[in-house]
Structure 1
Amino acid sequence: MALAATVNGAVRRIPVWAVYALGVLPPVWYFYLGLTGGLGVEPIKALEQKIGLLALQMLIAVLAVTPLMRLTRINLMKFRRALGVLTFYYVTCHLLAWLVLDIQDPARIWADILKRPYITVGMAGFALLLPLAITSNNLSLRKLGPLRWRRLHKLTYVAALLGAVHYVMLAKGLQLEPLIYLAIITGLLALRLPMMRRARTA
């Protein structure tokens, strides 16, 4: 409890805008590395992978906020919306790197979505995140009402799972790292099941 109080005290002194300001930088940095030869012999593929992994890590951070508070009393709720918006930003950058730098030919886009299952899954995850990004503001919360807004934003759970499956499918063969990400996301979702049951019976 003392640790939680110390962390919460420090968190209260960090402005939300600082999270946004720092959060926009990693894709820019990776793009710079790609331009200057810092991403190896296949910079476009490396750029896609690094930003995609960053998006998945941010999704895990979003999912972890509530369990972390319930299990340790460390409260990062003030940053959850910022983390969600940054997640969408990373996913969009990942998608743009694929569309603009990798595919380049618009005629191939739809064919690749239908032909490659891992792209189909990834695009489905992006489609689920889109309404969440659009409604991540106080005006949408007031118009939808708290109950409908919370129900809509539960799509985060499905999007996170699709993101993890996308990563597993993208890897060649069964690799450990994508499976670890899938296990972490599945575990965080499993932690929410008792909370959801209690909410329905309350």
Structure 2
Amino acid sequence: MARLTMARRSSRDRLWWWAVFVGCALPLAALGGWAATGDLGVNPIETIVRHLGDWALRLLVLTLALTPLRHLTGSTRPVRYRRMIGLWAFAYAVLHVTAYTVLDIGLHGPTLVDDLTQRPYIMVGMAALLLLIPLAATSTTGMIKRLGGRRWRRLHRLVYAAGLLGAGHYLLMVKADITQPMIYIALLGLLYGVRAGRWLAGRPV
């Protein structure tokens, strides 16, 4: 009976893993479908760059929401997929910057250095990506063991700054309606506030 229960649990865990993986991959597949059918709108380059950036930020915010969700529900399942979702967020961020560098800058002339100096939102976005690099590089179980749990946790607190920089990048980039970036900023403020409250109360964050 115990062996059967463990088999069912393992099967359920695999299904959840694949569901999360496919969910994270779907926006990229959708973008590929739009490109294949020529359905990228009047400005295909902007559509590609913005779509990738939007999903990088969405998944980054989602990773930050998983621990508060665990505290709220009492279930450890949400945090089991935090590493995968975080790596997907990093992948979308890298693709976002790559698409911008290759498609936008590559086709329209100015260099990345020019953009960094003339457009503050580019510098803020690049700072967010740079903070995500060490987090992605140390996401394996082996790296956690090498760094030690305490040092690894300290290093991965950079994700809080990366989240704010990502939302700030979005806010600075928008020229008119700032509703969407402000929603992300409000969500991050709520998530950070929950963590701060638990920390002040001496509870795990």
Match of 2:159 in 1: 156
Cα distance change on mapping 1:114 and 1:187 into 2, 3 Å: same
Please give the alpha-carbon distance, in whole angstroms, between the structure 2 residues aligned to 1:177 and 1:57: 11
Match of 2:187 in 1: 184
* TM-score, L = length of structure 2: 0.85
- 1:62-106 per-residue CA deviation (whole Å, 9 max, x = no partner) reads 011111111122431110110111110111111111011111178
Contact 1:168 1:174 in 2 (8 A): no
Please give the alpha-carbon distance, in whole angstroms, between the structure 1 residues aligned to 2:12 and 2:57: 23
Contact 1:164 1:181 in 2 (8 A): yes
Match of 1:102 in 2: 104
* TM-score, L = length of structure 1: 0.86
Please give the alpha-carbon distance, in whole angstroms, between the structure 2 residues aligned to 1:160 and 1:184: 10
Please give the alpha-carbon distance, in whole angstroms, between the structure 1 residues aligned to 2:181 and 2:97: 19
Match of 2:119 in 1: 116
- The CA deviation at 1:174 is 4.6
Indicate yes or no: 2:130 matched with 1:136: no
Cα distance change on mapping 1:42 and 1:152 into 2, 3 Å: same
Q: What amino acid is aligned across from residue 193 of structure 1 in structure 2?
A: A
- The CA deviation at 1:168 is 0.8
Same amino acid, percent of matched pairs: 39
Q: What amino acid is aligned across from residue 132 of structure 1 in structure 2?
A: L
- The CA deviation at 1:23 is 2.5
Root mean square deviation of aligned Cα: 2.5
Please give the alpha-carbon distance, in whole angstroms, between the structure 1 residues aligned to 2:36 and 2:163: 30
Q: Where does structure 2 lack aligned partners over 5 or more consecutive residues?
A: 1-8
Please give the alpha-carbon distance, in whole angstroms, between the structure 1 residues aligned to 2:91 and 2:190: 25
Q: What amino acid is aligned across from residue 34 of structure 1 in structure 2?
A: A
- 1:153-188 per-residue CA deviation (whole Å, 9 max, x = no partner) reads 010010001001111111113521111111111211
Q: What amino acid is aligned across from residue 43 of structure 1 in structure 2?
A: P
- Count the aligned residue pairs: 194
- The CA deviation at 1:18 is 5.0
- 1:35-82 per-residue CA deviation (whole Å, 9 max, x = no partner) reads 432120101101111111111110111011111111122431110110
Indicate yes or no: 2:173 matched with 1:170: yes
Q: Where does structure 1 lack aligned partners over 5 or more consecutive residues?
A: 1-7
- The CA deviation at 1:130 is 0.4
Secondary structure at 2:15 match in 1: coil
Match of 1:5 in 2: none
Q: What amino acid is aligned across from residue 134 of structure 1 in structure 2?
A: A
Q: What amino acid is aligned across from residue 45 of structure 1 in structure 2?
A: E
Match of 2:60 in 1: 59
Cα distance change on mapping 1:178 and 1:10 into 2, 3 Å: farther
- The CA deviation at 1:11 is 6.6
Contact 1:118 1:166 in 2 (8 A): yes
Secondary structure at 2:111 match in 1: helix
Task: List structure 1 runs of 4+ shifted beyond 6 angstroms.
Answer: 8-11
